[in-house]
Structure 1
Amino acid sequence: MTYKLATIAVYMLGFFFIVFLCNFLHILLRPLSQPRIISECIVGLFLSNLPVIRKHTSGEGIQNTLQYIVEVAMVLHMFVVGLEIDPNIFLEIHLPEAKVAYTGVLTTFVMAALLTPLLNIPNGTNAPFNLCLSIILSGTACPLLTRLITDLKIGKSDIGRFVVSAGVHTDLVSTLLICVGFIIFDPSSKFNYRSVKAILTMVSLLVIQTVLAAKLTPVIMNWVNRENPEGKPMKGSHLILAVAYVVMVCSFSPLLANYDKVLSAFLAGVFMPREGRTAKMMISKVNYFFSAIFYPLYFFWVGTEAQLVLFEAGKLGSWAKLFFIFIIATSGKVLGSWVSGVMLGFHWQDSIATGLLLNIKGHFHVYLAIMASKMNLTSISTSIAMVFATFLTIIYTPLVVANIIKRARKRSPTQRMALQWHNPSNELRILLCLHGPQNVSSAINFMEISRGPSDPGILVYLTDMIELTDRIAATLAHTGGVDTVTVTDPTVVEMREQITNNVNSYLNEDGEGITVRRMLALSTLNSMHQDICILAEDLMVSLIVLPFHKQQEAGGRLNMGHSGFRHVNRKVLRHAPCSVGILVDRGLGTTIISRSSISLHAAVIFIGGKDDREALAYAGRLARHPGVKLTVIRFLLEATGDSVSSIITIAKSNTLEHQEEMKVDDECFADFYDRHVAGGHVAYMEKYLVNSGQTFSTLRSLEGQYGLFIVGRGGRVNSILTVGMNDWEECPELGPIGDILSASDFSVTASVLIIQQHSLKGELDGLQDEFSIM
């Protein structure tokens, strides 16, 4: 008894040592972005093939125990794989993802079926074996692919989402083909065909199992979910009932028809309901069990079964099998993805990358390779070659993703599309948006004060933001759709003509240095931000100016506005390829801007941060206008005294990030001061403040002194002068300062321009960024 306990303790210590080595090697391979399966494979195969380890694990009892554990775990694994796949994807065969997936499966299947006989595999030269091997090579490890795409941080990109969706289609259809193949052929008898009676028995029992999983299971699971609501521990009896029922469903066909239990678990999982607490708990618990315990032990079992010395590495034929299998699987997927990509109009680089990613094999394919050898369907050397080929499909994945990110960087704008980095010798391009004729006067005055020197001048793309309603859509049906649209709706035509006439009148009178081109953003409010961003990117503008969603009423107050246009503004702020300004018009449109005398008093509030620097850069254009008297008000932090708050203030301002940001602020402000303030063209004042409360009161004291305020939306690092202000913001898209100046209880005659600086997309490195390359 003591001897057995000591043996068990040694095996347990050995298991924990394997887990430790897997995690340690995974940390070492992290700079290469290799997934955990690689480290688990290396450790498992290496340790299991050491002579001292093989001596103590070669016993029949140990081998049977390991195989039993692996088979049980593979049943759980395939059940969860099926549970994570929605069978409704068969209804989506018209989608591009499905077309790419099925074309890749078909091409790989045909190539493997035609070329596999060249391997000259013992016991595997008949047609049934070739077909089954073809199905295996055409499959995709969808769970592993999803995890890799997420870990390599391209899951939010268009190609990342596309590949994951296509992988689901591929995994489902290939596994179902394996299930059908198991029904027709008998693996235990060297792929002899089953009798018609055996096939009908299996099909009948699988149909009963499917009906149980699809019809009866929701009744039981919904009852368990209702009795165990979220937030409360699940009752043990209900948990046992749920697990016992799942075991019964998974065991139905294996016990009665000798159907493979792994494939039966997959089918049971496919038709199980996904909603509810029980399904989520099963998925999370099983996946945690796999990652923490099973996978290291699984590859240790693979190593004990696939003895590396039997690979016959000294023979050229063994390596030929390895690379031949890998080339068949890879070229089939790539060729299929390329063909479907040509039909769908994809870039060839995207098609090849998709094919390479869909070629990933995983744990189930390794399991099938080992079981093929154990059933004497092929030689152990060929099985080991299949295992190695499986891992070759995983190793290159980080390189493919790195290439995707590299191409995304090239397609993303590397030029900083912002006013702060605009070359003064180049024409400034602005996308100026309008909701209707009510914005024309403010737009004209905005162009006037922003014109700068006549050489090189500014190019303004005056864009009408028109909601695509059913009535307007009906008028577009006769002109070929939105892409080739000539709007024939009388209301829209009249509105656009009125705007054009007013702008032309201004340009004919005094439009030197200003070039205006008319544009149109016609779409639903949900997608209008995409039209605006695409226009801005195609036209290479440096600034998008959007009208505030609220309009000024006769009494001077702002109304409730249009919530749809507010959401458009917020989406543009998130996705714009350049800087964005929101113009709150409260009198700018009624002001007559003169070029002979001062007719507008404007102030720019500078606290610090990238958005404030962008506001300062725009203010530099106003400083050149003879009709604008510009004042720069800089809010500076004053931390005096020995109080606790003062000490905290000083500590926060001494962080490395804050100091670097302050250095950039000082350099930017010093350049502005030398250009405009030192020559007397711009007034300057400083306000020394202690906290955000003083900031609020100081802003309030400016009421009635200026007709236009220019402020940055935010972008400040640990700014003590604005901390806490966002707690009472009415419109967060305006930022804390802009929200105060635009409040209904502030001045009714002071317009506000809130500016957000462009964040350079060319710096993306795959860190959860959304990008598009397809």
Structure 2
Amino acid sequence: MSNTSAQNSTSQTQNISSNQQCLNFVASTMMNGSGKFLAVISAYILSRVVHQVLRPLSQPYITSDLLIGLFLGSLPPVRESFATQLILTLENIVDFGMICYLFVLGLEMDPYVVLKSPTRHAMVAYAGTLSTFIIACSVTPWLHYYNAKNAKIVTFTISLSVSLSGSGSHILTRLITSLKIGKSDIGKLGIGAGVHSDMITMFFLSIGFVFYPMGMGMGMGMGENQNPSLNHRAKEIVKMGAVLLFQTIVAAKFSPVFMNWVNNENPEGKPLKGSHLVLSMAYMALICAPAPFYGYNPFMSAFMAGLFLPSEGRISKWAISKINYLLSTVFYPLFFFWVGLKVNFKEFKAGDAGSWARFFVLLSITTVGKIAGTVMCGLMLGYHWPELVALALLLTAKGHFHIYFSIFALRKEHIDMTTCISMVIVVFLTIVHTPFVVKHIIERARKRVPIHRMALQWLDPSNELRILLCLHGTHNVPSAINLMEISRGPPQPGLSVFVTDMVELTDQIAATLVQGEGVDSVTVTDESVTEMRDQVTHAFQAYIDENGAGITLSRMIALSTFNGMAQDLSALGEDLMTSLILLPFHKRLNADGTLDGGHPGFRYVNRK
């Protein structure tokens, strides 16, 4: 009996011990999980807070995202809590997000402009890209940026030089648009040159991967063979080249037939059919898939597929707006948090003079190369050199892919941590100065523009009256038409009315901006905005058709944050040479005759 009771007590003790260990494991896992969740959520929240702090400096979101990502990733508790398995999961998420990024980047570009006679912004882009590439190829091999054990000097030098020669067209377009110089000559030149530079460098990287399947010197391929025979390498080149060519032909020639059919079945003004939407997304994914099955890089495959898919049409614009919105709200903060985890500043060799030399040489190549090529080409085209220097500084801006490029090189051990950190900081420095360059362009332009007396009392009665008539929405249309009727006067000299929609620039609307051609550098594709604008246009056009003799109607949009909308409306009125700017009251009339609480944002604009 004593032995049996002893065994029972021992068994109970072991059970209690195992239960306690299980509880401790569960509690530890839950604590670690909550800590990881808190770290990721902090990246999202803090990036938005820092962006609001940096808003007076007009810094883009990438600045705050990168700062917060590097800060959180450098904290020891955060770095230690993310084990190898979690880092691998995070890397897979980032890889998928970067595929989506490159797909929509290509989808926003037009590859056929290369076949046309080069425009001015194309020639400026080619000159800046070529000069930077030549300088980078001449200098970087002597400074040993690469790891000789895992990278070849020729492929690494070419890939690094092409990367330094490019521009972050997404960043540049958003910045120029948000600072309201997109319709100016320098703004259109900057956006066009940035897109050309980005497209050409990405295209060469995509083609280069066929001939150097080890990831353009970066080891980005799948199933790499470090020492392939010449015969095997030739077969791989032919196989990948043939598959990529087939994928490109399908995307360029057969995709328009399918996309046009879907667009015709889903005309503007009607909701998209779910079955057609799913079918279109599946088709886009299928177009990106063939080349990676044969060893081609999935990132470059996504870019090439997007590049040759039709960018016009409702489905393409829907895909661009939705993917951009998901990238800006979900992917970018997580991406830079991953960058912070991969970059370890403790391993930076600050005491080595060679580390600083390589850092400053990278920064100098990016800056001097762009300035040299842009200024030389621009002077031959008749531009002034101060504007060309400013344009070149804008074109030095890099983007998300360039940071990803650096981290991927570190993952494949083709560069060390010091070089990776230098490349990330160089990308950051090429972005952070761009708002100040744009503001300098604006100040310089305003000093050179003559002052016009455009107040109502200075108006010559023999000239037409030009009015900037602003609206919040369709509810302002009846009162606006009444104002037009009161102010119209005789048919000669007439009345010119610029009906302007006041739209707040939110993150969701900013993600729907699509680059266009001509005077309008970007187009808003958000359905709520486009539907509202169509209704307003139809209402005014109906009035003009009935009794609009002597009235010239034009449609404008003031797309800005409430903090800068008053200044943008003033600048728009000045550009249009209007004598009167009319703003609607911030409160709306209820059905019972009372006024509602009003919109605080529009009230702020009216007070300014």
TM-score, length-normalised on structure 2?
0.70
Sort the Cα spacing of 1:307 and 1:168 in 2 relative to 1 into closer, same or farther, 3 A: same
One of 702, 716, 726 as aligned partner of 2:484: 726
Kindly report which structure 2 residues correspond to 1:627-706, keeping only aligned pairs within 5 A, or say none. none
Q: Does the 8 A contact of 1:333 with 1:355 survive in 2? A: yes
Sort the Cα spacing of 1:301 and 1:335 in 2 relative to 1 into closer, same or farther, 3 A: same
Structure 2 counterpart of 1:229: 267
Which amino acid in the other structure matches residue 75 of structure 2?
L
Q: Does the 8 A contact of 1:92 with 1:98 survive in 2? A: no
One of 148, 152, 155 as aligned partner of 2:179: 152
One of 85, 102, 111 as aligned partner of 1:78: 102
Which amino acid in the other structure matches residue 141 of structure 2?
P
Q: CA deviation at 1:366?
A: 0.5
One of 203, 206, 212 as aligned partner of 1:176: 203
Q: d(CA) in 2 for partners of 1:389 and 1:399?
A: 17
Q: Does 1:46 align with 2:71?
A: yes
Kindly report which structure 2 residues correspond to 1:477-488, keeping only aligned pairs within 5 A, or say none. none
Kindly report which structure 2 residues correspond to 1:302-321, keeping only aligned pairs within 5 A, or say none. 302-321=339-358
Q: d(CA) in 2 for partners of 1:224 and 1:9?
A: 45
One of 455, 458, 461 as aligned partner of 1:614: 458
Q: Does the 8 A contact of 1:157 with 1:771 survive in 2? A: no
Q: Does the 8 A contact of 1:18 with 1:296 survive in 2? A: yes
Which amino acid in the other structure matches residue 81 of structure 2?
H
> Per-residue displacement from partner, 1:317-373 (whole Å, max 9, x unpaired)?
322222210110110011000110121121111211121111110000111111111
One of 18, 30, 37 as aligned partner of 2:43: 18
Structure 2 counterpart of 1:455: none
Sort the Cα spacing of 1:370 and 1:723 in 2 relative to 1 into closer, same or farther, 3 A: closer
Report which stretch shifted further, 321-330 or 182-191. 182-191
Q: Does the 8 A contact of 2:36 with 2:81 survive in 1? A: no
> Per-residue displacement from partner, 1:706-755 (whole Å, max 9, x unpaired)?
xxx8899477999xx9993513747496349xxxxxxxxxxxxxxxxxxx
Sort the Cα spacing of 1:242 and 1:50 in 2 relative to 1 into closer, same or farther, 3 A: same
Which amino acid in the other structure matches residue 23 of structure 1?
R
Sort the Cα spacing of 1:52 and 1:94 in 2 relative to 1 into closer, same or farther, 3 A: same
Sort the Cα spacing of 1:340 and 1:212 in 2 relative to 1 into closer, same or farther, 3 A: same
Q: Does 1:97 align with 2:135?
A: no
Q: d(CA) in 1 for partners of 2:237 and 2:570?
A: 50
Structure 2 counterpart of 1:343: 380
One of 13, 23, 33 as aligned partner of 2:58: 33
Sort the Cα spacing of 1:218 and 1:56 in 2 relative to 1 into closer, same or farther, 3 A: same
Q: Does the 8 A contact of 2:180 with 2:568 survive in 1? A: no
Q: Does the 8 A contact of 1:140 with 1:167 survive in 2? A: yes
Q: Does 1:130 align with 2:157?
A: yes
Structure 2 counterpart of 1:374: 411
Q: Does the 8 A contact of 1:713 with 1:735 survive in 2? A: yes
Q: Does 1:106 align with 2:106?
A: no
Which amino acid in the other structure matches residue 333 of structure 1?
K
Structure 2 counterpart of 1:215: 253
Kindly report which structure 2 residues correspond to 1:733-748, keeping only aligned pairs within 5 A, or say none. 734-735=494-495
Q: Does 1:142 align with 2:169?
A: yes
Q: d(CA) in 2 for partners of 1:353 and 1:66?
A: 38
Report which stretch shifted further, 80-89 or 117-126. 117-126
1:259 partner SS: coil
Q: CA deviation at 1:766?
A: 9.9
Q: CA deviation at 1:97?
A: 1.0
Q: d(CA) in 1 for partners of 2:480 and 2:88?
A: 68
Q: Does the 8 A contact of 1:311 with 1:380 survive in 2? A: yes
Q: CA deviation at 1:190?
A: 9.4
Unaligned 5+ segments in structure 1 are 419-578, 580-609, 619-708, 737-762
Structure 2 counterpart of 1:265: 302
Q: Does the 8 A contact of 1:113 with 1:131 survive in 2? A: yes
Q: d(CA) in 1 for partners of 2:67 and 2:338?
A: 12
The list of structure 1 runs, each at least 4 consecutive aligned residues, that deviate by more than 4 angstroms after superposition, is 1-10, 189-194, 709-712, 714-718, 730-733, 763-772
Q: Does the 8 A contact of 2:39 with 2:72 survive in 1? A: no
1:724 partner SS: helix
Which amino acid in the other structure matches residue 405 of structure 1?
I
Structure 1 counterpart of 2:529: none
Sort the Cα spacing of 1:770 and 1:347 in 2 relative to 1 into closer, same or farther, 3 A: farther
Sort the Cα spacing of 1:81 and 1:712 in 2 relative to 1 into closer, same or farther, 3 A: closer
Structure 1 counterpart of 2:552: none
Q: CA deviation at 1:224?
A: 2.4
One of 184, 198, 202 as aligned partner of 2:240: 202
> Per-residue displacement from partner, 1:259-309 (whole Å, max 9, x unpaired)?
110100000001101222111111011111011111000001111111121
Q: Does 1:64 align with 2:88?
A: yes
| Higher share of residues assigned strand | 1
Sort the Cα spacing of 1:246 and 1:8 in 2 relative to 1 into closer, same or farther, 3 A: farther
Structure 1 counterpart of 2:139: 115
Paired-residue identity, %: 40
Q: Does the 8 A contact of 2:464 with 2:493 survive in 1? A: no
Sort the Cα spacing of 1:766 and 1:309 in 2 relative to 1 into closer, same or farther, 3 A: farther
Q: CA deviation at 1:216?
A: 2.2
Q: CA deviation at 1:12?
A: 3.7
Q: CA deviation at 1:235?
A: 2.9
Structure 2 counterpart of 1:399: 436
Sort the Cα spacing of 1:13 and 1:714 in 2 relative to 1 into closer, same or farther, 3 A: same
Q: CA deviation at 1:222?
A: 2.3
Q: Say which structure, 1 or 2, has more relative contact order (CA 8 Å, 6+ apart).
A: 2
2:394 partner SS: helix
Q: d(CA) in 2 for partners of 1:102 and 1:722?
A: 48
Q: d(CA) in 1 for partners of 2:80 and 2:261?
A: 52
Q: d(CA) in 2 for partners of 1:268 and 1:82?
A: 7
Unaligned 5+ segments in structure 2 are 1-24, 471-478, 497-566, 577-608
Sort the Cα spacing of 1:413 and 1:316 in 2 relative to 1 into closer, same or farther, 3 A: same
Q: Does 1:242 align with 2:283?
A: no
Sort the Cα spacing of 1:313 and 1:733 in 2 relative to 1 into closer, same or farther, 3 A: farther
Sort the Cα spacing of 1:710 and 1:91 in 2 relative to 1 into closer, same or farther, 3 A: closer
Q: CA deviation at 1:396?
A: 1.1
One of 188, 199, 204 as aligned partner of 1:161: 188
Which amino acid in the other structure matches residue 98 of structure 2?
M
Give the total of aligned pairs.
Answer: 458
> Per-residue displacement from partner, 1:182-236 (whole Å, max 9, x unpaired)?
1111233698787111111111000110111112222222222233333333333
Which amino acid in the other structure matches residue 114 of structure 2?
F
Q: Does the 8 A contact of 2:463 with 2:493 survive in 1? A: no
Q: d(CA) in 2 for partners of 1:240 and 1:135?
A: 36
Which amino acid in the other structure matches residue 484 of structure 2?
N
Q: CA deviation at 1:764?
A: 9.0
Q: Does the 8 A contact of 1:370 with 1:383 survive in 2? A: yes
Q: Does the 8 A contact of 1:190 with 1:377 survive in 2? A: no
Structure 2 counterpart of 1:627: none
Q: CA deviation at 1:241?
A: 1.5
Q: Does the 8 A contact of 1:152 with 1:766 survive in 2? A: no
Q: CA deviation at 1:20?
A: 1.1
Which amino acid in the other structure matches residue 120 of structure 2?
P
Q: CA deviation at 1:406?
A: 1.8
| Higher share of residues assigned helix | 2
Which amino acid in the other structure matches residue 734 of structure 1?
G
Q: d(CA) in 1 for partners of 2:180 and 2:480?
A: 33
Which amino acid in the other structure matches residue 126 of structure 1?
I
Q: d(CA) in 1 for partners of 2:209 and 2:277?
A: 32
Which amino acid in the other structure matches residue 110 of structure 1?
I
2:494 partner SS: helix
Q: CA deviation at 1:5?
A: 6.7
Which amino acid in the other structure matches residue 286 of structure 1?
I
Q: d(CA) in 1 for partners of 2:369 and 2:204?
A: 17
1:232 partner SS: coil
Structure 1 counterpart of 2:605: none
2:367 partner SS: helix
Sort the Cα spacing of 1:379 and 1:93 in 2 relative to 1 into closer, same or farther, 3 A: farther
Q: CA deviation at 1:253?
A: 0.2
Structure 1 counterpart of 2:587: none
